[in-house]
Amino acid sequence: MSAEQTAHLKDYRTDFNFSELERLVLEYADRITATPVEVPDALFARLREKFDEAQLVELTSAIAWEGYRARFSHAFGIESEGFNEGAVCALPARAET
């Protein structure tokens, strides 16, 4: 992910720095990391047009694993080690209403 993408992550749906495929994957990540998890059939159908079964399993696993790690760290109060001092810390996108 480029510095420009990181800086504009909250606007991935409309920002020109993101490709159509990147927008699709980020929308999926938003949906499967939300509580409760809600992935519309239409979104999954769009994902199936771009990824085969094995790729979808790997993508879902990677997103879920990062969500697990974030929640695990938060539960134990594990904080940043400061390795990205001064870097952008993007906030999660809010679901569109």
pLDDT, one tens digit per residue, over 12-50 is 999 999 999 999 999 999 999 988 999 999 999 999 999
**Could you state, in order of their start, the residue ranges of all structural domains in the chain?**
3-75
Element (H, E) at 4: helix 3-7
Average pLDDT for the chain: 87
Residues 6+ apart with CB under 8 A from 9: 1, 26, 90, 93
pLDDT at 90 over 80: no
**Region of residue 82 (left: phi > 0; alpha: psi -120 to 50; beta: else):** left
Strand, coil or helix: 8: coil
pLDDT, one tens digit per residue, over 51-72 is 999 999 999 999 999 989 988 9
Say what the pLDDT of residue 52 is. 97
